[in-house]
Amino acid sequence: MRFHSAFWDEWQRLHLPGLDEHLLLVIENNTVEGKAALEYLSTSRQRWTAKPAKVELDARSLQSSADVEAIRKAHRSLVTSELESEVSSLLRIFSRISEDVDAALNQASTYNQRLLLRDVADELNLQLQNFVRSSDKYTVRFYPIIKSWREIVTNYIEELAKITELRQEIDSPNIIGVPLTQEQEIFTGRDDIAARIEQLLSDRRRPPLLLYGQRRMGKTSLLNNIGKLLPNSIIPMFVDLQGAPSSASDYAGFLYNLARDMEKSAKKQGLTLPSLAREVLKSDPFTYFYEWLDKVEQALEQNTALLALDEFEVLDNAIAKGRFDEQDVLGMLRHLIQHRPRFKVLLAGSHTIEEYQRWASYLINVQVVHISYLKEAEARQLIERPVKDFTLRYEPNAVERVLQLTRCHPFLVQLLCAEIIVLKNEQDPSIRRLATLADVEAAIPEALQSGGFFFADIQNNQVDATGQAILRFIAAQGEGAIVSRQTLLQQFPDADITFNLLLQRELIEEVDDGYGFQVELIRRWFFNRT
């Protein structure tokens, strides 16, 4: 190909017919030479060849995904920002679907794999309908690929169902490490917290709310499902600040991602919001964002929008690093609270506002809604009847032991129950469907290992070295032990602030004149590190 005039006639302005097809042919047969030619042509007078070649290469790469394993890896090789908007938007669809398939296949149980893959199949069906309605040349090119992916995912879901039935396995509904979505039946309880939120939303002073609780207590799961718990007149608009908004490089990106997440969330509640183009925001981001909010208020009619910002600490970190100015971002939130009665603001995080002084100075009179352990009845349901037609039964003393070990902590209940199901599936079918006390005890070491990321986060991110030493000391005293305050102060003088932090993190509790672990599984993890 190096003898082609595109590489020596640098004054040739006219498009050289067939050069793009020639380029693809070379890439197919000699990847190194072909990609070097593509790189050169991208900056030459024949740069017109680069775009169709790149699009076709991506299309062929996606088309070569012959199974779910290939689909789950596809997003790693896609670059969605180099091409013009209509192609980038198509590639982003495939990238997002690939990531969702990857997340589904990372689930430990076939039940949860099927559950999440059904969501993927629904998304593929929706996109397929959108593709059919478009006559754009790029959409036409990618249509057979989205159709093929839908068929692959659907067939794989059916295969998983057959495998489970053939093996007579217990389907595990427990979902570990990711928040529960609206579609997941296992979400349990939290009616009291929803009632408290509803009460505060009716306050005419429109105070901002803080949903506060320790990590893995189910804050995000509650926000994902809160639309089912609140009146229809309240439209939740959920925004995960750990995602695109806080990682944006400028205000246009931040506000665009904020609006996009609000739009997607409202759509799940049956409300279609006006769209906001990213290009519009570039010249004067906040002005155009406020104008978009005017249109959103019109779309709301008599309803109220609940803007739920999850993981607000991540946005604070972006402010601290200087990517955003606190007056611009937090001032915008304060203005929204004070001057837009159709909007209510709810923050969610594992820290109090007092720990982030800049937020406290902008968001006056924040009302805290504490989310903690499940009620015992809710935890029992999560253990014994997590989903309809659940096939595993528990002996009464086995249920009591799970409650003792987890203190109805939603994540730990699911973690331990998931390991019990793994253990039962390894047993003979004659005893598989009944969980005993011995099964619960046998599952504890596996739960401590598979939930290592949860326990390590407590040690590494929630307490300091003194706190770790205190926890290990109490853990060494045994299950249910209460260590007197005097004994602890002898061992750890001047540790009053640390004790308060451990209490605030809900790791220990005061009992009479001493301290003990709140949760036995957490104690066991620290005991293993003494």
Mean pLDDT of the chain: 82
Q: Which two tokens stand for residue 144?
A: 């057979």
Separation between Cα atoms, residue 258 and residue 364, nearest integer Å: 22
Other Cβ atoms closer than 10 A to 9: 13
- Whether 181 has a pLDDT exceeding 70, the answer reads no
Tell me the torsion sign for CA atoms 435, 436, 438, 441.
positive
Place of tokens 């039946």: 185
Separation between Cα atoms, residue 515 and residue 522, nearest integer Å: 14
- Whether 167 has a pLDDT exceeding 50, the answer reads yes
- Cβ distance 485 to 515 under 8 Å? yes
Which residues of the chain does CATH 3.40.50.300 include? 191-370
Other Cβ atoms closer than 10 A to 280: 17
Other Cβ atoms closer than 10 A to 149: 26
Separation between Cα atoms, residue 321 and residue 335, nearest integer Å: 23
- Cβ distance 227 to 194 under 8 Å? no
Superfamily of domain 191-370 in CATH is P-loop containing nucleotide triphosphate hydrolases (3.40.50.300)
Question: Burial code of 371-401, b = ≥16 C-beta within 10 A, e = fewer?
Answer: bbbbeeebbbebbbebeeebebebeeebbeb
Distances (CA, A) of 78 to 35, 52, 420, 502, 513: 16, 15, 39, 44, 60
Separation between Cα atoms, residue 522 and residue 475, nearest integer Å: 9
Q: What is the largest CA-CA distance in the chain?
A: 89
- Cβ distance 236 to 308 under 8 Å? yes
Separation between Cα atoms, residue 62 and residue 123, nearest integer Å: 17
Residue by residue, DSSP assigns 360-377 as HHHSTTPEEEE--SPPHH
Which residues of the chain does CATH 1.10.10.10 include? 453-527
Distances (CA, A) of 220 to 80, 228, 348: 28, 14, 8
For 35-39, 346-350, 464-468, which range has the lowest pLDDT when averaged over its residues? Answer: 35-39
Separation between Cα atoms, residue 222 and residue 122, nearest integer Å: 23
For 85-94, 296-305, 339-348, 490-499, which range has the lowest pLDDT when averaged over its residues? Answer: 85-94
% residues pLDDT > 70 (the chain): 83
What's the pLDDT at 113?
81
- Whether 44 has a pLDDT exceeding 90, the answer reads no
- Cβ distance 282 to 212 under 8 Å? no
Other Cβ atoms closer than 10 A to 202: 11
Over residues 396-418, the pLDDT tens digits come to 999 999 999 999 999 999 999 98
Going by pLDDT thresholds of 50, 70 and 90, the confidence category of residue 23 is low
CATH number (1.10.8, 3.40.1710, 1.10.1070, 1.10.287) of 376-450 reads 1.10.8
Separation between Cα atoms, residue 285 and residue 251, nearest integer Å: 6
Which residues of the chain does CATH 1.10.8 include? 376-450
What's the pLDDT at 14?
57
pTM here?
Answer: 0.65
What CATH number belongs to 453-527?
A: 1.10.10.10
What's the pLDDT at 34?
58
- Whether 51 has a pLDDT exceeding 70, the answer reads no
Other Cβ atoms closer than 10 A to 468: 17
What's the pLDDT at 182?
46
Place of tokens 């987890």: 406
What's the pLDDT at 198?
82
Going by pLDDT thresholds of 50, 70 and 90, the confidence category of residue 518 is very high
Average pLDDT over residues 493-499: 86
